[in-house]
Amino acid sequence: MAVSVLYGNGVSWTVVPPYDPSCYLCPGNKRAAGEVNPDYVNTFVFVNDYSAVKEEQANYEPPDRDGITFASSHNLTLADLPPRDIIPIINTWTDLYTAHLSPSSPLAKTASATALPPSSHNTGATHPRTQYRYMQIFENKGAAMGCSNPHPHGQIWTTSSLPEEPAIELEQLKSYHRERGGCHMLKDYAQLESDQQERTIFENAAFIAICPWWATWPFETMIVSRQHRRALTDFSAEEVSLLAEIMAEVTTRYDNLFETQFPYSMGVHQAPLEGSEEEIECSHFHIHFYPPLLRSATVRKFLVGYEMMAEPQRDITPEQAAERLRGCGGALYRKSTAGRQ
């Protein structure tokens, strides 16, 4: 049961218990399909019980849809997790991605042999019956983004074709690579933003978080690998730690901005599971965050009217958004506020 709490300084949020007996993702609980979850600690991979698309359709090849919990506690989000607890999430993503790689992919030659975590009962995903083309890893956080269960979790959809957004990006990455003598667009862009420091939110030795100049959403953010890394399989253990750090930084700053559980849709873009050598080589790992909030915890942006029929409009500039997010670092607001009560 969730309880709304109002503190004396006007800060409020909904307190969620660490365990909910009615939650189908908590350890030991029964899921919608009747299976019982194991007593997992960090991540748990499961078959999506609530498919967004009905599979029994003529001339339709459904994607493979899995879910992944981020923690066993019902009341945590990525913003609540220290980087060391985000590392198992990234490692599980990597395991799933590696398990689905085409044997003919250049990435398969360098990726470590893997299997799904022992806590997962979804063993069928380790050896897919069909070679998929693309894996989309994503998280919808908050009811505003259609998430009905607050238990921290994301989804992994693997498809037989290359989805529209990654396909458009990949075409531009390939064109840049050909036209610039083998240079990589997002590596060059990461360096440009790091040099200018106008739209940078946070950076470390391996990654940079920016509000891109083309952003549609007010506080849209992108995490980009500073070096050319095609996919999760290219990262060293140190780079995984630095990715966990910057993910914690972005999500904490989001929550601190309006002192609320900041909703967003987050998605990983990386090399296809199966593709030509050019497609794999030109791919560049990055993560998109699309958050809807505009002026406060209750005022959001809507893409309607002119923005739907003509083109999106900026409510604040990317430079203004980055400046505000830069100023929201430090301890997570609900931890520091609760400690002062």
Encoded tokens for 133: 């083309």
Burial class of 248 by CB neighbour count within 10 A (0 to 12, 13 to 18, 19+): buried
Indicate the SS3 state at residue 327. coil
- Report the C-alpha gap between 321 and 245 in whole angstroms: 21
Catalytic residue flag (residue 121): no
Burial class of 52 by CB neighbour count within 10 A (0 to 12, 13 to 18, 19+): exposed
**207 touches 86 (CB < 8 A):** no
Burial class of 97 by CB neighbour count within 10 A (0 to 12, 13 to 18, 19+): buried
**75 touches 3 (CB < 8 A):** no
* Residue 45: its H or E element: strand 44-47
Pick the catalytic residue from 74, 100, 153, 269.
Answer: 153
Q: Catalytic residues, which ones?
A: 153
